[in-house]
Amino acid sequence: MLKTILSISGKPGLYKLVSRGKNMLIVESLVDKKRIPAYGNEKIISLGDIAMYTDAEDVPLQQILAAMKQKENGGAVTLDIKKASSNELYAYLEAVLPNYDRDRVHASDIKKLISWYNLLVASGMTDFEGVASAEEAEQAESEK
């Protein structure tokens, strides 16, 4: 699921990949369901390709989202990211991912993570665990 959810720099929110054109992608906003073209000159990142820095190795975003879902019992994060202090944001991330890299993870990264999670929950896309295990099985199969 996360492979088809995209973040486009310069555009707010998250987008679902609908179709591919010749030099563009057709994406649908998760917020208002409007379809727009996304061109190759825009920085487009799949959520499936994002990981967060930790003290050991990078942790894929889907594992962090699954931990957030478990912490919030499947609901949205109640922390108000616009009013929360940096200390509150770091405390929240520490509850979800205790060994995050304190030097390379910034408060703005945590705000983006929480807003993405809330967007996915509001859109009904909350099957983070099943996606992670399916992708790991697929990756293990391709390595054989």
Residues 10-57: tens digit of each pLDDT = 888 999 999 998 889 999 999 999 999 999 889 999 999 999 999 989
| CATH label of the domain that carries residue 67 | 1.10.10.1650
Percentage helix, strand, coil for the chain under 3-state DSSP, each rounded to 5: 40, 20, 40
Q: Is the pTM of this model over 0.75?
A: yes
Q: Which amino acid is at 92?
A: Y
Contact 66, 128 (CB under 8 A): yes
Element holding 138 (H helix, E strand): helix 128-143
| CATH label of the domain that carries residue 39 | 2.30.30.730
Q: Are 83 and 139 contained in the same domain?
A: yes
Q: Are 66 and 24 contained in the same domain?
A: no
Residue-range definition of the domain harbouring residue 11: 2-47
Residues 64-115: tens digit of each pLDDT = 999 999 998 888 898 898 999 999 999 999 999 999 999 999 999 999 999 9
Q: Are 55 and 43 contained in the same domain?
A: no
